[in-house]
Chain A
Amino acid sequence: MDFSKSSLAIKRWIYTSLILLFFIILIFGFIQLQVSNKDVYVLKSLNNSIRKSQLYAVRGLIFDSKGKIVVDNRPSFSLAIIPRVAKPYTIKDICNRFHLDYTKVKQELKKTFGFRPIVVARDISQESVIWLEENRLNLPGIINVIEPKRYYAPGVKSPHIFGYVGEVTQNEQKQNPEYEQGDLIGKKGLEKKYDMRLRGSKGVKFLTVDASGRELGKLDINRDIPPVHGNDLQLCLDYEQQAFAESLMTEINGALVAVDTKTGGILALVSKPDYDPRNLSGKISSDVWSQLLNNENHPLYDRALQNGYPPGSTFKMVPATAALQENIITPNWKASCPGYFRLGRKVIHCWNLKGHGTLNLTQAIKYSCNVYFLQLGLKIGLETWSKYSELYGFGRKTGIDLPGENKGLVPSVEYFDKRYGKNGWTKGNLANLAIGQGELLITPLQIAQYAMIIANKGTYYTPHLVKHFYDYKTQSFENYPIIEKRVNEISTEVYDVIRNGMKEVVEGGTGWLGKVPGIEMAGKTGTAENPHGEPHAWFMAFAPYDDPEIAISVIIENGGHGGATAAPIARKFLEKYFFGHLIPRVFAKPDSNTVEEKKDSLILPMDIINIQPLKIIPQKEIHNQ
């Protein structure tokens, strides 16, 4: 080969230029990355090594009116997977151990990529936490995270007031963009109504992490944003009173609502049957859930404000008010009750088959005479009846601070025309409505509000559970706005007559078992026919008579006569409210209980002025059709 010096020199320079070219290209590449695009890569590198970790705010506590904590938080352990780190077979193992659906978990993990832990099982047992910690090294990417869960003080139940919290669904996320995947939000009750207040605001913690997602420590405390504790709620009710009310309703299907007539504050709100809210805190087992859903008594349903019932005789003050206010009758207008009423070809019986004789309005209320009110109803007509029903707040929501309230149903002329055709409905429908039957649906809460209106002679307040909030951000209390409303269309004189009638009800009338000794009060019984068995028993009351402070409504589904079953419950509640204990009954046997009282209720009190026989078999209030 030719190995002359000149040819070598040329080859050397050719090769040298080639090498130089390569190096220039390389250096150009570095300049582009490190000078031209430096900022982009600095940001990327920061994002790489810094994990923005969310700090969950403490959910606001719930206090009762006495300042006792009724709903609190406790830590619970959740199983979480870091998608980027966890190996498929590890995930499979974990799924087997915790009885999770592998394909579902995989789908869940696919939604995000990276180092953000995804919670796959909530509220795992203590043993599982220990097992996870022991096997930490063998389970890369599997961690347990501490999440708060609702804790209810011992003896606290009231699921229909508090509701429960659960993981946000995609639908809920769409409705409220503030919700993020995996958030725990209020699903029912106060938790739902005040979710935005209770949840507080999340904080952010910046952590340095390595490529495996391991947290190495805090980046810079000054950049962190601390979470803000959710608002605390203080309720208007004394939980002792509420718990007592719940105990009165044990093993009963029904509801009890007591309201402070001076503010509208709810003093008790019971719906039975209910469930233990602890079962829906943290992990909800599907067994418990399906049991609750499929239970024929519907424990998830809040009867106090979601269920409309026919109000029965408690409604009689509406036609009475209408007739007086419209000057259709005077308080002294009398009607005679022979025990039945003939309407066209139909005969409607009074609950007292022997008849009440001739009564005025006060007596008609006192003895809840159907025949009297049937006649009155025909006199006032449907239009006036509807108008006064609405004045008393029926057919619209009360505006209580709980979600899912039912507005009930007050039929109007238009409603009947639509339903039965222009001339398809008869006087029978109207007569029915006058005694609180027929197409009339009223919630127990509305009855309580109705009692409050009568008690205050027209003034009433929006019912509400919350007295005030404590805002941790401003560190101040914020009162729940008390909204005063007034029924101006009804004069004081009319209220006086109605109230007097209601006072008579408990003073030896049908509601005598509702009378609290030593307290002057007023009430009204109701026995609402329903196609499913025994009639529903109603009782409503307010007390004290002259300066009312509490109004109450009680319904017992299929409880029979209102005066017999509902009134004693209201009485006991009020005794506890006024005196802090029950007052022994002079009429009842020493070991009296509800069963005994049912027997007692067959006997009217001794001081009755009526000529009616002492022993009566309770009848259904009407014998329609």
Chain B
Amino acid sequence: MNQIKLVLGNIGGTILLLVRSLKYIPTLPRQFPRFIEQCYFIGYTTLPIVTILSFFIGSVLALQSGYSMENFGAKQFIGTLVGLSMARELGPMMVSILLAGRVGSAITAELASMKVYQEVDALETMSIPPERMLVLPRLAAVLVMMPVLAIIANLCGWYGGAIVCQYTHFISVDSEAYFAALKHFMKPQDIVDGLLKAEVFGFAIVLVCCYTGLNTRGGPREIGASVTKAVVTSLILILVLDYFVTKILL
């Protein structure tokens, strides 16, 4: 019973944090440097790992599907399979998981340490709402950076698949045929749906991590506990939201 109360309390608290943060949208223009700083942190510093992982996910996907599809004589559709999988599911999902692990954990750790060392209390006594200064720029930045990261993940995955298809002896589908199949069966809507998913996941991750960080109680040990809690919650949330968002978009 207490666990249910706790979960409901956390959901309520997260929604309240969102509402309070949105109240300060008019202050965003004068928080531009903070917004850019967060864009850099969320986007630029995550880019290398997104690039590498997406490339190899596309490669493995092409390798596995090539191995199986060869038996059905359907190798010419590998491009379609990799393209759709990356755009609709794997691209946004991988970017979100990386975001939770890399950016979400850092956000939680920073805000939790600010809370534990009374920096958040200091902001409140100065009549500077933490939602305005600490949460809103991060939410705005993730909304801008997630589609960018998802597009880069898609491109890297597609090219990873193309290279594997061309140079693996038992697949041997050249890039032209690969991309022709990819283009033929994919609609712009597939890409838009994927970007939409990335937006929802990214927004939810940053919100949950900000809430968890700002609600840290106790000493330095709790900072670590909050980070673990935020990352685990984010990962669960990504999968749960994935089901519902996919259902709505299909």
- Are A and B interaction partners? no
